[in-house]
Amino acid sequence: MTQPDLFGVPEFGREGVSLLRGFALTDAQELVAAIEAVARVAPFRHMTVPGGGRMSVGMTNAGIGWVADSKGYRYDHQDPLSGQPWPALPPVFTHLAERAAQAAGFGFTPDGCLINRYEPGAKMGLHQDINEGDYSAPIVSVSLGLPATFQFGGLKRSDPVEKITLHHGDVVVWGGPARKSFHGVLTLRAGHHVIGNHRYNLTFRKVLG
- Touching ligand SIN, residues 2-61 (CB under 6 A): none
**Number of residues this chain uses to bind ligand SIN (CB under 6 A):** 9
Q: How many residues does the chain have?
A: 209
C-beta of 27 vs 132, nearer to ligand SIN: 132
Minimum distance between the CB of residue 166 and Fe ion, rounded to whole angstroms? 13
Q: Which stretch binds Fe ion (CB under 5 A): 13-21, 89-97, 122-130, 156-164?
A: 122-130
- Touching ligand SIN, residues 82-101 (CB under 6 A): none
Minimum distance between the CB of residue 46 and ligand SIN, rounded to whole angstroms? 14
- Touching ligand SIN, residues 98-117 (CB under 6 A): 114, 116
- Phi/psi of residue 36, nearest 5 degrees: -70, -30
Q: State how far the alpha carbon of 203 is from the alpha carbons of 20, 56, 70, 139, 158, in Å.
A: 14, 17, 22, 7, 23
Q: Does 201 bind ligand SIN (CB under 6 A)?
A: yes
Q: Which stretch binds Fe ion (CB under 5 A): 11-19, 47-55, 123-131, 166-174?
A: 123-131
Q: State how far the alpha carbon of 83 is from the alpha carbons of 5, 78, 209, in Å.
A: 44, 6, 24
Minimum distance between the CB of residue 116 and ligand SIN, rounded to whole angstroms? 5
Among 42, 185, 188, 207, binds ligand SIN (CB under 6 A): 185
Q: Does 129 bind Fe ion (CB under 5 A)?
A: yes
Minimum distance between the CB of residue 139 and ligand SIN, rounded to whole angstroms? 8
Q: What does the angle CA 3 – CA 12 – CA 140 come to, to the nearest 5 degrees?
A: 105
Residue 117 binds which entry of ligand SIN, Fe ion, none, CB below 5-8 Å type-dependent: none
- Residue 1 CA to chain centroid, in angstroms? 24
Q: Does 67 bind ligand SIN (CB under 6 A)?
A: no
Q: How many CB atoms lie within 10 A of CB 98?
A: 17
> Rounded CA gap, 75 and 127, in Å?
16
Q: Which DSSP category does 139 fall into?
A: E
C-beta of 97 vs 124, nearer to ligand SIN: 124
Is the Cβ–Cβ distance between 167 and 149 less than 8 Å? no
Return the closest-CA partner of residue 128 out of 85, 157, 102. 157
- Residue 108 CA to chain centroid, in angstroms? 15
Which residue's CB atom is positioned nearest to Fe ion? 129
Residues of this chain that interact with ligand SIN (CB under 6 A) are: 114, 116, 124, 141, 150, 183, 185, 201, 203
